[in-house]
Amino acid sequence: MKQSNNYRLLQLRRILFHETDENHELDLEQLKEKLFKVMDIKKIDHRSIKNDISALQEMGFDVILNRRQHGRLYYSHQNKMFETYQLRLLVDAILSARFITINEKNKLIDKLKELTSKYLAVTLPEPILFSQTINIDYDLIKLNIDRIHQAISKRRVITYQYGNYNVQKQFQYRRDGEIYHVVPYALIWQNDLYYLIGEYIPKNEIRHYRLDRIRNIEITDQPYEKDEKFQLQKYVDNSFHMYSGDDTSIQIRFENSLINPIFDRFGLDVSVQEDGEDHFILKTRAKVSDGLLSWILKWGSKAEVLSPEHLVEQVKEEIEKMRNIYDE
């Protein structure tokens, strides 16, 4: 079957996209040889290739012409969809997601490599550098992501069952398998896990749920209007290790050596006040929870909770429990 000029144009575009970049160029003779390999043709003149390149440029496909020694022209496509560092960011995000299987990582990274030249593609890391979490059902997570994404886009309430694992490694439903009715607000990736953030309808409370612990998710026909007062970023920032709790003003006294970890956690805009030569006081709002308690205790004697008083008492009680364990 005779291949049309349109087919040749598409093949030329593919060659320029995948086989040239800012460090790799092809002249007309090289372009012709590569076209011969992918097309059922016996000959093609340079003028036809030049006309095709002009057509590509008119369509917005950037082709750089570089005149080298003896006036020979070389062609390359350098304006890729992604910069190299951007592709690296995407690849590293995929690799660091421990719930994604090695097989799926390979598929995703192979697709990303199609978005740049073959020379830059080989510089991207392979998925053998990061450990995996093998106890998470990736197929289940894919299903949950897809359905929740659809529900959010369609503004539909979802239902599901929720649970966790016991020490026998058996999954158990919470509340005897009760069906949860939730208004889905957002999907986030936090602490190497996916979470659904939404309104638990029976209590009209904003809560979050781990996707790998959701089962039998369904999209209902019930529409919803999102609470415009809800601030997703604030909710996430105030949740330590994605634990739920009451949003409260807290003050903690730290040694100066911890100022950078505090900035890493809260950002440079957080309220910190010098307290003598060796300490500073952090003032912020956070959800008082087991996650916050664990975060405070990990700093040991370098952190002292000043307020609220009930959080001070919680820290004291936990320290006493720890001391009793070792005394025994």
Of 158, 112, 104, 174, which Cα lies nearest the Cα of 136?
Answer: 104
Measure the CA–CA gap between 248 and 254, rounded to whole angstroms. Answer: 19
- Name which CATH class applies to 138-230: mainly beta
Separation in Å, CA 256 to CA 40, 267, 273, 280: 72, 16, 11, 6
Q: Are 46 and 28 in contact (CB under 8 A)?
A: yes
Measure the CA–CA gap between 50 and 52, rounded to whole angstroms. Answer: 5
The pLDDT of residue 131: 55
Measure the CA–CA gap between 266 and 240, rounded to whole angstroms. Answer: 11
Say whether pTM exceeds 0.85: no
Provide the Cα torsion 81, 86, 90, 96; round to 10°: 170
The pLDDT of residue 1: 41
The pLDDT of residue 24: 92
The pLDDT of residue 239: 81
- For 24-52, the pLDDT digits (tens) are 999 999 999 999 888 888 788 889 999 99
Helix ranges restricted to H, the chain: 5-19, 28-38, 46-58, 84-96, 102-113, 118-121, 138-154, 232-238, 259-266, 290-297, 309-327
The pLDDT of residue 66: 92
Q: Are 222 and 153 in contact (CB under 8 A)?
A: no
Give backbone dihedrals phi and psi of 38, rounded to 5 degrees, phi first: -115, 0
Domain ranges across the chain: 5-76, 82-134, 138-230, 234-327
* Residue located via tokens 């439903």: 173
- For 82-128, the pLDDT digits (tens) are 888 899 889 888 887 877 888 888 899 999 999 999 988 888 876 55
Of 84, 162, 152, which Cα lies nearest the Cα of 116?
Answer: 84
Q: Are 201 and 181 in contact (CB under 8 A)?
A: yes
Spans in the chain with pLDDT lower than 50: 1
Of 221, 94, 66, which Cα lies nearest the Cα of 157?
Answer: 221
Measure the CA–CA gap between 219 and 156, rounded to whole angstroms. Answer: 7
* Cα dihedral across residues 245, 251, 255, 261: positive or negative: positive
Measure the CA–CA gap between 129 and 106, rounded to whole angstroms. Answer: 12
CATH code linked to domain 5-76 = 1.10.10.10
